Structure 1
Amino acid sequence: MIDRSFIGRSFPPLHVDVEPFQLRAFARATGQRDPIYWDEEAARAAGYRALPAPLTFLFTLDQDREDRFYFINAMGIELGHVLHGEQAFTYGAPICAGDRVTLTCTCMDIYDKKGGAMEFVILKTQATNQLGEDLGGMTGTIVVRDPK
């Protein structure tokens, strides 16, 4: 059983600087064609401070941690028993090149189904920038299978 005392607990925040090359690489990988993702002038003409991030870029920022499985390791979960269940995003102010983004992940819930054969961990990550603007967040669910 995963320790339910993690419910409501936040993990140490992550601070990430957003670089133009990261945004261009993500835009290329996701097939973005709008010039706001490639051209600084087009981005500014569209009302952005700098190149904006495509919508799901927030997920890649959270991967910048030294330990990509920080919450799994902190909770004592065996990685081999973890399945990705669901991912959802909310959007706030746009993330732009030059931003310093702070990501704070909180365990929102832990529950089980099928008599404990599967446990579910709900994590919510909120993002803000150096201006204190809410950039939105993401909610993820992992499923932990009982090894028996």
Structure 2
Amino acid sequence: MIDTRHIGHTFPPFSVDVEKDRLKFFAKAIGQTDPVYTDDAAARAAGHPALPVPPTFLFCLEMDAPNPGAIRDLLDLPVPKVLHGEQRFSYHAMAFAGDTLTFAQRIADIYAKKGGLLEFVVRETRVTNQHGQHIADLHGITVVRHG
């Protein structure tokens, strides 16, 4: 069983620079055809100061953490039994190429279902930009299967 004393545990915040070429690559990889995500002039014409961060790209940036497996390590989760259960985003402001985003992660909950055969670890991440503006909240659930 995962020790629930880790509920509320926070990890050191980390910052990531939003690089224009990565945004373009991601937009193309997901089939985003709106030129506002790949063309600087189109982004400016749409009223943006630079290329906007496409939806869900914040998950990629979160993986740039110094240790993307910090939660697994802290909780000693058995990697072969770990599943990605859920990912949600709540956006509060836009982020753009050239921004520096800071990710502050915490373990929001740990609970079991099916008599302990499934355990769930809820991660919440607050994302702010270089001006301290609240950009988004990321919500992820990791599932650990036992048995």
TM range, smaller chain:
over 0.9
CA RMSD, Structure 1 to Structure 2 (Å): 1.1
**Aligned-partner Cα distance in 1 for 2:4–2:70:** 17
Do the aligned partners of 2:14 and 2:66 also contact (CA within 8 Å) in 1?
no
Q: Which amino acid aligns with 1:105?
A: Q
Question: 1:128 maps to what in 2?
Answer: 128
Q: Is the 8 Å Cα contact of residues 128 and 134 (structure 2) preserved in structure 1?
A: yes
Q: CA deviation at 1:107?
A: 0.7
May I ask how many residue pairs the two structures share in their alignment?
147
- In structure 2, give the amino acid aligned to 1:107: I
Aligned pairs for 1:1-148 (under 5 A) are 1-146=1-146, 148=147
| SS across alignment from 1:8 | coil
The CA deviation at 1:18 is 0.6
Query: Separation in 2 of the partners of 1:86 and 1:33?
Result: 26
Secondary structure at 1:55's aligned position in 2?
coil
**Structure 2, unaligned runs of 5 or more:** none
Secondary structure in 1 aligned to 2:144?
Answer: strand
Is 1:126–1:138's contact at 8 Å kept on the other side of the alignment? yes
CA shift at 1:101, angstroms?
0.4
TM-score by length of 1: 0.94
Unaligned residue ranges in structure 1 (runs of 5+): none
| Mapped contact 1:8–1:107 kept (Cα < 8 A) | yes
Structure 1 runs of 4+ aligned residues shifted over 4 Å read none
Instruction: Give the TM-score normalised by structure 2.
Output: 0.94
Q: Measure the CA separation in 2 of the matches of 1:79 and 1:69.
A: 10
Partner SS, residue 27 of structure 1: helix
User: In the aligned structure 1, how far is the partner of 2:98 from the partner of 2:76?
Assistant: 36
Query: After superposition, what is the alpha-carbon deviation per residue over 1:35-90, rounded to whole angstroms, capped at 9, x for unaligned?
Result: 11122122122121211111111000011124221111111111111111111111
